[in-house]
Amino acid sequence: MKSMEWDRSVWNALKDAVSGMPPVVRGKALKKIIEKAEERAKLRGLNVVSDSDLAFAVEICVPPVVKSVCKSALRDNGVDVDSILPPFMDTIAKIDSITTGGGDRNRVLSTCIDILKSSFGTFDWVGIYFVDGDNLVLGPYDGEPTEHTVIPVSEGICGAAVREGGTILVDDVRADERYIACSFSSRSEIVVPIFKDGVPVAEIDIDSNTPSAFKEEDRLFLEEVARLLSRLF
């Protein structure tokens, strides 16, 4: 199943750690670890799955009971799980909890947006746009007021993310002709679609006053946030 280079001893330790679990649970957990770890490595242009890739995959992809034994196996094999995991894991845990608790959708989204903005110093404007036919309609947001409450899907970086069906990361918005200026201070942007049954229904839009503020780590993190938010649609 694996197509990239892996640390054989660590991988064998992970397999041994879940060997006592039901075959279906074990198989699904290992498959998810492989897919997420290899995806993360490829995004960095590597053909080798690192300890960090494995730790990230275990943290994000597998159920708590599997996660616990897998992380123990990583630690036993010299992988410093707790120090190499990205700092946003606590944020994922909070949003995971909030999005399973029910309640009014906009209120839950507002809470999640507040968590994102307060947790990361470079997230200067954070908002949700809902897909409404051929338009994007602004929902809850945290940041300076914007006049762009409705954006045609045919326009802007936000529209491009829906049309292309994927995350768009812009290091310098002033150099991107698609950018619709919301604030003079904005320098970089990331837009992450939220999918329901494979169709974009909304998107996370984040602007930063810092050039090149968003990295591949942020993309992976925010795509996981988008997956959690999709529960609300």
* pLDDT tens-digit readout, 74-129: 889 888 787 766 667 788 888 988 998 888 999 999 999 999 999 899 999 999 99
Residue in the block written with tokens 């996370």: 204
pLDDT of residue 151: 96
Q: Which domains does the chain have, with CATH numbers?
A: 8-84 (1.10.20), 89-232 (3.30.450.40)
How many CA within 13 A on the CB side of residue 168? 22
Alpha-carbon distance 94 to 12, whole Å? 31
pTM of the full structure? 0.73
pLDDT of residue 82: 74
- 3-class state of residue 105 by DSSP: helix
